[in-house]
Each structure stands twice: as structure tokens, then as C-alpha cells.
């Protein structure tokens, strides 16, 4: 077997221990003579898996009983629609902070249903910076305030939860959830597609404050209401059982690593080392304002863009894969989620230095 260091933005690398466990569990899971994805979601054996995963997630993020944890499908993109449908009613306006590609998509979808107030827009900096808090035009009567703590494509991360008074905060945490400790009580709603920092694609995690479940209008179809899933243990219909099981293995792995406190330390160190290597080189550059540099997705350009293809080809040969930047940004992007070991970052830094020596 030969594994590479996989810097894919998502679906992304998973811990090898988790993959080995999945392999060992197939095709005879817990001695039941069947694979976990072959059994009923309502069976006692699967309910135990589902409940343990939720309990472990609650423990990792210290989620109180004031919040429901939902295991949904449809990706973060469905949440772009479900959030306004569930947390606001016709005629209400909603606040959105625009910091890049994903917040743009979220606010565009909300705009289909509601009046969207863009509190601030990072366009002037080409989304390499976040407008000063003092310049934001927040509406104190907004149904909620939405932001994207980590812009996966631009590599822009807001490291502190914005203070917007009593307006509930909604966050698309797809590419940063579980990367560090989080004060859940600051949020009304958190959602995250699983395929960045949780598990395989197909599962969307939603953490929603119970009192907000009551806002939904009866014109919203039941299958699109959070309350439907909250009252059925996310088993209104068949949930993505195999992904849920793997997410559970990842949560257990995170606990064994020392939880999100430890992950936060490691992630910050991994990111700092890579940014330092970029900044100290005369060859690589990252455009993001230092205060908003992401710990998870690190875009960088080469001083000689004509070498991009060669960089990628040689990196691939060195076992460093999926470093190509998003088509909208160009250059490179290293996604270094929880499951990317420090050795992977070290190997990338060494490769980059060597490539610079040969091509500067």
C-alpha cells in the first residue's frame, strides 16, 4: 500500500486509522455477518452507532442540550436554502457578510426567498481581506446574521465570532468545524458539509438552537424543516448511514488525538509553518491579510506562473497531491484539515524550498 499526502479541498483526506477501521469492519461488522451499510437505519445496532456519534460530537464541541444536532443530506448548499426557510418568515430581511465565493453563493440563494442585506463586502480587496467591523451595516431587526467563517476557496478565515448583538448568528462551517475549540453558545445555527473536516461526502451536520426551530412557517414542506429532523433523531427518512458511521469513527479518532483543543494547537502550528515558509521565500506569495489567513486552506502563487504545471507535476511525483488552486483564483492551494499530519506539511515545505532553489 502506498498513501500520498492529499491536499484536496474536499472531498478531502481522512485519517488512515479510520480507513483501516472501515476496511476491517467490512464485510462483517461487529460479527453480525453484514456490513454496516447493509442494515436498517432503525436497527438497534445502527441506532447505537448514530447515538454514539452524536454523543461524541457533543462532547468534542461541548454542545449543550439547548441545541439540536442533525445529520442531514444535500450538502452545505441545501443549507443555503434551508437556513432562510427555517429561520426567517416572508417579509423579514436577513443579514449576510460577503467574504468570498461561498458567502456569495449563500446570499444569492437566500435572495430567492428573502430580502438580503449585505452588511459588508470584501470585493474592494478582491476578497483577500475582511471589511472592518465598524463599517458593517447590520440591521438590528434582521432575522439572522450569516457569515462564512472559513472561505475554502480564498483561504480567508474569520478567527473570532463577530458580535452582532442579539441577532442570531448563522455560520457555514463546512471547512473549519472541529479544527479548534468553539463557543457554540455564540451561534443560532451552524452547518457543515462533511467532506472537508468530518468524513466522506453525503452528510451535512447541522447544530441549531432549539428555540429557533419554532420559527418555521407551515408553508415550508416538512422535509425541509429542521424541526422535522429534530423530532425524529434525523431519521425522518433513510439517513446516509455509511457516512454517519464513518463520521462517528472520525469523532472517536479526534477524541483520541486530544480533542479540538489539541487539534487547534496542531492546526495553528501547521498553518503558521506553511505561511512562514511562503513569506520567507522570494518565490511564493499568499495574498490574504495576515489577520484573516486560514488555518485550513492556504492558497499561494509562484513568482513565475509559467511554472505552475511543472510544480504540480513534480509535487505529484513527490507524493504531494491535489495542490492545484481553484480555477477562480489560480496558483496553488494546500488544504490542511485535521487529517493532514504535520509530516505532510513538512514534506510540502521541503518540496517548495527545493523547487524554489531549482527555479529561482
Ligand X SMILES: *Cc1c(COP(=O)(O)O)cnc(C)c1O
Handedness of CA 74, 27, 8, 190 (dihedral sign): positive
Give the position of cell 407551515.
218
What stretches of 114-240 show up as alpha helix (H) in DSSP? 226-230
Q: Of residues 89-128, which lie at the interface with ligand X (CB under 6 A)?
A: 102
**Position 344 contacts ligand X (CB under 6 A):** no
Q: Which is nearer to ligand X, 13 or 148 (CB)?
A: 148
Choose one: 159-167, 172-180, 286-294, 347-355; the region binding ligand X (CB under 6 A).
Answer: 172-180
Whether 104 is catalytic is: no
**Position 157 contacts ligand X (CB under 6 A):** no
Q: Which residue is nearest to ligand X (CB)?
A: 75
Q: Which of 29, 53, 75, 284 binds ligand X (CB under 6 A)?
A: 75
Q: How far apart, in whole angstroms, are the C-alpha atoms of residue 229 and residue 234?
A: 4
Phi-psi region of 189 (alpha: psi -120 to 50; beta: other; left: phi over 0): beta
Q: Which of 13, 99, 174, 179 binds ligand X (CB under 6 A)?
A: 174
Tell me phi and psi for residue 172, to 5 degrees: -90, 100
Q: Which of 56, 95, 157, 172 binds ligand X (CB under 6 A)?
A: 172
**Position 76 contacts ligand X (CB under 6 A):** yes
Q: How far apart, in whole angstroms, are the C-alpha atoms of residue 321 and residue 200?
A: 18
Residues 6+ apart with CB under 8 A from 200: 11, 14, 194, 242, 243, 246
Q: Which of the 8 DSSP states describes residue 293? A: B
Helix (H, G, I), strand (E, B) or coil at 243: helix
**Position 175 contacts ligand X (CB under 6 A):** yes
Whether 102 is catalytic is: yes
Please check whether residue 216 is in contact with residue 195, taking contact to mean a CB–CB distance below 8 angstroms: no
**Position 248 contacts ligand X (CB under 6 A):** no
| Nearest distance, CB of residue 59 and ligand X, angstroms | 25
Active-site residue identified among 29, 102, 244, 253: 102
Whether 253 is catalytic is: no
User: What is the grid cell recorded at 140?
Assistant: 438590528
Q: Which is nearer to ligand X, 174 or 281 (CB)?
A: 174
Active-site residue identified among 172, 244, 253, 295: 172
**Position 321 contacts ligand X (CB under 6 A):** no
Q: Which residues are marked as active site?
A: 102, 172, 196
Interface residues with ligand X (CB under 6 A) are 10, 75-77, 102, 148, 152, 172, 174-175, 193, 196
Amino acid at each position: 500500500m502506498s498513501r500520498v499526502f492529499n491536499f484536496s479541498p474536499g472531498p478531502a483526506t481522512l485519517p488512515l486509522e479510520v480507513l483501516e477501521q472501515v476496511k476491517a469492519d467490512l464485510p462483517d461488522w461487529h460479527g453480525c455477518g453484514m456490513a454496516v451499510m447493509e442494515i436498517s437505519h432503525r436497527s438497534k445496532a445502527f441506532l447505537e452507532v448514530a447515538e454514539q456519534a452524536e454523543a461524541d460530537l457533543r462532547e468534542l464541541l461541548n454542545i449543550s442540550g439547548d441545541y439540536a444536532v442533525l445529520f442531514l443530506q444535500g450538502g452545505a448548499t441545501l443549507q443555503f436554502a434551508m437556513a432562510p426557510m427555517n429561520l426567517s418568515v416572508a417579509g423579514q430581511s436577513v443579514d449576510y457578510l460577503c467574504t468570498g465565493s461561498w458567502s456569495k453563493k449563500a446570499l444569492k440563494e437566500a435572495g430567492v426567498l428573502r430580502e438580503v442585506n449585505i452588511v459588508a463586502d470584501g470585493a474592494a480587496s478582491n476578497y483577500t481581506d475582511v471589511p472592518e467591523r465598524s463599517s458593517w451595516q447590520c440591521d438590528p431587526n434582521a432575522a439572522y446574521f450569516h457569515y462564512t467563517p472559513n472561505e475554502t476557496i480564498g483561504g480567508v478565515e474569520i478567527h473570532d465570532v463577530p458580535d452582532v448583538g442579539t441577532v442570531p448568528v448563522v455560520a457555514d462551517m463546512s471547512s473549519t468545524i472541529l479544527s479548534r475549540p468553539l463557543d457554540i453558545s455564540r451561534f443560532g445555527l451552524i452547518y457543515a458539509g462533511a467532506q472537508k473536516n468530518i468524513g466522506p461526502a453525503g452528510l451535512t451536520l447541522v447544530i441549531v438552537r432549539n428555540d429557533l426551530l419554532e420559527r418555521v412557517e407551515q408553508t415550508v414542506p416538512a422535509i425541509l424543516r429542521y424541526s422535522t429532523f429534530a423530532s425524529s433523531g434525523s431519521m425522518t427518512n433513510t439517513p446516509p448511514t455509511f457516512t454517519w458511521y464513518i463520521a462517528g469513527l472520525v469523532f472517536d479518532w479526534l477524541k483520541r488525538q486530544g480533542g479540538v483543543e489539541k487539534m487547534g494547537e496542531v492546526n495553528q502550528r501547521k498553518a503558521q509553518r506553511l505561511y512562514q515558509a511562503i513569506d520567507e521565500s522570494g518565490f511564493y506569495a499568499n495574498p490574504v491579510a495576515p489577520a484573516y489567513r486560514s488555518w485550513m486552506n492556504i492558497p499561494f502563487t509562484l513568482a513565475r506562473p509559467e511554472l505552475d504545471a511543472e510544480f504540480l507535476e513534480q509535487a505529484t511525483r513527490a507524493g504531494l497531491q491535489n495542490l492545484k488552486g481553484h480555477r477562480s483564483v489560480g496558483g496553488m492551494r494546500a488544504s490542511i484539515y485535521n487529517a493532514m499530519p504535520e509530516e505532510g506539511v513538512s514534506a510540502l515545505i521541503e518540496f517548495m524550498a527545493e523547487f524554489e532553489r531549482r527555479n529561482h
